[in-house]
Structure 1
Amino acid sequence: MRVLVVEDDPGIADLLVRGLERAGYEAAAVPSGQAALAASPEPDVVLLDLGLPDMDGVEVCRQLRGRSELAIIVVTARGEEGDRVAALDEGADDYLVKPFGLAELLARIRAVLRRVRPADRELLRHADLTVDLRTRTVTVGEREVALTPKEFDILEALAVDPGRVVSRQEILERVWDAHWYGPTKVLDVHVAGLRRKLDRPGLVETVYGRGFRLGTPDAQPTPPEVP
């Protein structure tokens, strides 16, 4: 999932890119509207500042929306109602006023993507596991699995890129808070519950010293004998 940060302040741009990368996104930054319009390949999400040096961000939004259905989230210090209305009228999907927390930004990105992504990109599949991001449902084979919100978010973090090791800190920042400094034992408790409910040994793997990933599940459990 590619995110383009359109921001002329290098410090803010770097902070956003690093935070997005920790959350599992492929992120890059450009400092101007023209650079945003020329970006290739086209991103999935644009985080768009309005106060750009070469052109107003509202005009950038209008041109982007005129040619693409990508997700556009305005991130700006301009909080007046007129600015909000202008950006939303030109096709912005959301509007976030600085300063803001990274956790809120990530939540807004997920919410916007649920609205704008094609249905086939809402289904994450691995082995016989299917994660439906739109309905937040999970099936293993033909069996629907009831997960808590936190268990679902952990599974989503792993399922977006099966096989990639997701660090414990990345999951904590993504699922709980961008600046989580508490004990990591809470993650172990939720992962244990997730494994128990999925009932596929080997599906959620621990990579010691690094984090977790989706692996190749062992043979499916033998169904109970019918009396």
Structure 2
Amino acid sequence: MKRIIYVEDEKDIGEWVTRDLTERGYEVIWLKSGEEVDRYRHQADLLILDVMLPGLDGFSIGRRVKKQNPELPILMLSARTAVEDKLEGLQFADDYLTKPFHPDELSARIEVLLRRFHTNEEEMLQLQHLTIRLNDLRIEHNGEEIRLTGKQYYLFEYFLRNLNRILTKEHLYENVWGEPYLDGDKTLMVHIRYLREKIELDPAQPTIIETIRGLGYRMKR
């Protein structure tokens, strides 16, 4: 589980982002100001900084942290959209995202930064009885690799990126197949059945990919 330091003084935004990233499988340390960043920065895999903060602003904090920990990726968040502000932030930060933003975009940018800065690490996730080698998304059970077909692989990957989140059939189909979902189409259901046959101990009583009646599906850790 990757650990993110998130510095945001606005309560509503901070709660929303923290909840969303936690549901996606990250450990989030939410700080209301930059005063405690030094306390946690050595334990973090990524730093997300809002620009407008009480006391020292995000630019000042980011410059200091980058100088002390150049290997720590920094993502700036700001309502400032002026090119001058973005250029100032990108002098030290590794990415700059303007508000308002979609949570999927924030998650995607986080994943890119983590891959860029942690590609040499062997990352593993234990998903119930499965061991997931995240660098190449290899799935193992008792040391044996479980091989997936193309669509099974992309479906599993999308579930993994949204760990513990309830995903509707429409959302899954549109994001994995890239096409609008047609009511009554059994394609998704069939692929999930085949996927369960490969990854579940008992496909008839699945514990990894749950059916949430009336809503959709959820991959549960």
Q: TM-score, normalised to structure 1's length?
A: 0.68
8 Å Cα contact 1:50/1:57 also seen in 2: yes
Change (3 A) 1:76 1:147: same
* Letter matched to residue 138 of structure 1: R
Instruction: Name structure 2 gaps, 5 residues minimum.
Output: 213-217
1:154 aligns with 2:156: no
Q: Deviations over 1:184-220 (max 9, x none)?
A: x886554334345xx4552887236775447xxxxxx
> 1:138 deviation in Å?
3.1
1:85 to 82, 87, 91: 87
1:67 aligns with 2:68: yes
| RMSD, aligned CA | 3.7
Change (3 A) 1:157 1:193: farther
Q: Segments of 4+ in structure 1 off by > 6 A?
A: 125-128, 170-173
Change (3 A) 1:201 1:103: closer
Q: Report 1:1-227 matches (<5 A).
A: 1-39=2-40, 42-68=43-69, 69-90=71-92, 92-122=93-123, 124=125, 130-133=132-135, 136-138=136-138, 141=144, 145-148=148-151, 149-155=154-160, 166-169=164-167, 176=175, 188-195=189-196, 199=198, 201-202=200-201, 206-207=206-207, 211-213=218-220
Q: Secondary structure at the match of 2:56?
A: coil
8 Å Cα contact 2:122/2:133 also seen in 1: no
> 1:46 deviation in Å?
1.6
> 1:169 deviation in Å?
4.4
Q: TM-score, normalised to structure 2's length?
A: 0.69
* Letter matched to residue 65 of structure 1: K
Change (3 A) 1:82 1:131: same
Q: Deviations over 1:84-137 (max 9, x none)?
A: 2222221x121100001111111111111111114224455777855343xx55
8 Å Cα contact 2:196/2:206 also seen in 1: no
Change (3 A) 1:124 1:18: closer
Change (3 A) 1:202 1:34: same
Give me the identity figure in percent.
28
Total equivalences in the alignment: 196
Higher relative contact order (CA 8 A, sep 6+): 2
